[in-house]
Amino acid sequence: MKSVFGRYLPGDSLLYRLDPRLKVVITLIYIIFVFFAQYFIDMLIIIVPLWIAYIITTKRVLPLIKLIKFPLFIALVILIVNIYSLKYGEGFNPNKDFGYDTIITKYPEFRLIIWEKYGYALTYESINKAIALFFRIYTMVLITTLLTNTTKPILLTKALEDLMFPLKLLFVPVHIIAMIISIALRFIPTLLDEANRIMKAQSSRGVDFKNGKFKEKVVAFTTLIIPLFVSSFSKAEDLSYAMETRGYDPYSKRTKYRKLTFGWKDVLVSLFIILMVSFLIINIYNVNDYLPEWYIFTQVV
């Protein structure tokens, strides 16, 4: 199955009919607030609507699971780095250092140091941070995938251009920037398919990407770099020739055949996003005044 990241998938669900400008704004809001979220419950509140929207939109669950691979890899790398970079000396006081009750300070069974050897330790804090990083990166990948799956590249370009309209007052070439972003998103799935094709070609020549030691796998994957770069520049050159042949001029004055408009569905979705954002803002700036104890225990350390 081809990767769905960055690829437009034809459909007719609610997300397809939303104004593309609203979808871009929602994407930015999600990316910002998932990094400001202080509790794992908040992260679930952010990500569960995305799961529901993805399943309703694509009618598939397997791609949703496949998107876990990259965030999980990054989180594991960060966890390993934390093990070999963080050291806790004698006299470490979690109550003093954290300044609030967490699952570390409240329940002794959740030990601060889970594993220790040769001066390096696996701690609850490092696991906590790795899980939080996984949720944040996964949310970014998922919301970006939803945006590109449900929005045609031309509509995405229009949405970005409209949202960046104030920059025109500063003589910023908004249309060019919007076109660059949309082309970059458009070519993500193309380059992934090209990398897969090159990998199969190299495998037929005896390069083994699956077996062997980690160092051997790294060396094998370096054989993809040069062919992928050559292919990328070739496709970029073909695209530039095609645009010039069709008379594309980024500096000419442009008119719009179809204007983007807000509908009642956009208003309802906007109200839902406003309610969710309001709840998250209250949690960020009013931490311990009203939240239940079990909620506070899910705080990201």
Nearest CA to 284 out of 37, 96, 79 is that of 37
For residue 94, the model assigns a pLDDT of 45
What's the pLDDT score for residue 96? 43
Do 241 and 272 belong together in one domain? no
Are 126 and 84 contained in the same domain?
yes
CA 134, distance to chain mean position in Å, is: 10
Alpha helix segments (H runs only) across the chain: 14-17, 20-36, 40-58, 62-66, 69-83, 94-98, 103-106, 124-150, 153-163, 174-204, 214-222, 225-245, 264-285, 293-296
Q: Are residues 223 and 273 in the same domain?
A: no
Q: 185 and 146, same structural domain? A: no
Helix (H) or strand (E) holding 121: strand 120-123
| Residue 129: C-alpha distances to residues 34, 80, 87 (Å) | 14, 12, 15
Is 156 a domain residue?
no
Rounded to 5 degrees, φ, ψ at 117 are -160, 135
User: Do 4 and 141 meet the contact criterion of CB atoms below 8 Å apart?
Assistant: no
Residue 107 shares a structural domain with residue 214: no
* C-alpha R_g of the chain: 24
**Whether 138 and 267 share a structural domain:** yes
Q: Which of 225, 250, 275 delimits the end of a domain?
A: 250
How many CA atoms does the CB half-sphere of 197 hold within 13 Å? 9
Assess if residue 192 is contained within a domain.
Answer: yes
Determine, yes or no, domain membership for 234.
yes
**The domain containing residue 204 runs over which residues?**
174-250
C-beta atoms surrounding 128 within 10 Å: 18
What's the pLDDT score for residue 268?
Answer: 93
Q: Are residues 36 and 89 in the same domain?
A: yes
* Same domain assignment for residues 147 and 196: no
* Contact between 291 and 299 (Cβ < 8 Å): no
- The low-confidence residues of the chain, meaning pLDDT below 50, are 1, 89-111
Same domain, 242 and 266: no
| Alpha carbon distance 12, 23 (integer Å) | 15
pLDDT at 105: 45
180-193 per-position pLDDT tens digit:
888 887 788 888 88
Same domain, 18 and 140: yes
CB distance 174 to 165 below 8 Å: yes
Contact 190, 235 (CB under 8 A): yes
Does 157 map to a domain? Answer: no
Bridge partners of 195?
Answer: none
Q: For residues 76 and 119, what is the distance between their CA atoms, to the nearest angstrom?
A: 20
Q: Is residue 52 located within the same domain as residue 104?
A: yes
Q: How many domains are there within the chain?
A: 2
**Tokens at 230, concatenated:** 């050559």
Please, which residues bridge with residue 117 across strands?
Answer: 120
273 and 246 together in one domain: no
